[in-house]
Amino acid sequence: MRLVLIACLVLSSSILALAQESREQVMEKRTREMHRVLGLNDRAAWKKFIKENYTQALIDKPMRAKVQTSDNGSDKSSETSSADNLEAKVGMFERLHNDFGDSKITSLKVIGDDVEMIVLGDMGLKGTFRLKFDVAKPYLISGLGISADN
């Protein structure tokens, strides 16, 4: 009886480990696909990626951008209206394409519910992307933060 109990515990631990690995693989795959799509100069492809890989809550969430200028340390913030949320996110992809479309991934790490991807562009611009994922299948992107520096 004791041997059966130990075997069940080992089996359930193995199944849990495989499920976690599968989730991490999906998260990493979505992140790499986002990087690939950012390299395309194609608004339709950006919109398709957003619709297929973002949660509806993230699509519906107004865009907020905080830009810090290095010359005087001042911050500028902006927010979109709810009617334009999808188009605003496509516009964000366009800006990211302009900055990181030619970049290479230098680091990609799964950290809990997040993936941190660091990219380096040909002109030396470094970007850190922090993607947050849903904990339930299909593990869609539920949050996104990006910082850039030279």
Map out the domains of the chain as residue ranges: 2-149
| pLDDT tier for residue 1 given thresholds of 50, 70 and 90 | low
Token pair belonging to 14:
């193995």
| pLDDT at 2 (0 to 100) | 63
| pLDDT at 18 (0 to 100) | 47
Long-range CB contacts (< 8 A, 24+ apart) of 84-91? 85/59, 85/60, 85/61, 86/47, 86/50, 86/51, 86/59, 88/62, 88/63, 89/50, 89/54, 89/59, 89/63, 90/43, 90/46, 90/47, 90/50
Read off the pLDDT of residues 103-132 as tens digits, 9 standing for 90 and up: 999 999 999 999 999 999 988 999 999 999
Q: How is domain 2-149 classified at the CATH fold level? A: Nuclear Transport Factor 2; Chain: A, (3.10.450)
Read off the pLDDT of residues 50-99 as tens digits, 9 standing for 90 and up: 999 999 999 999 987 665 555 555 555 555 455 589 999 999 999 999 99
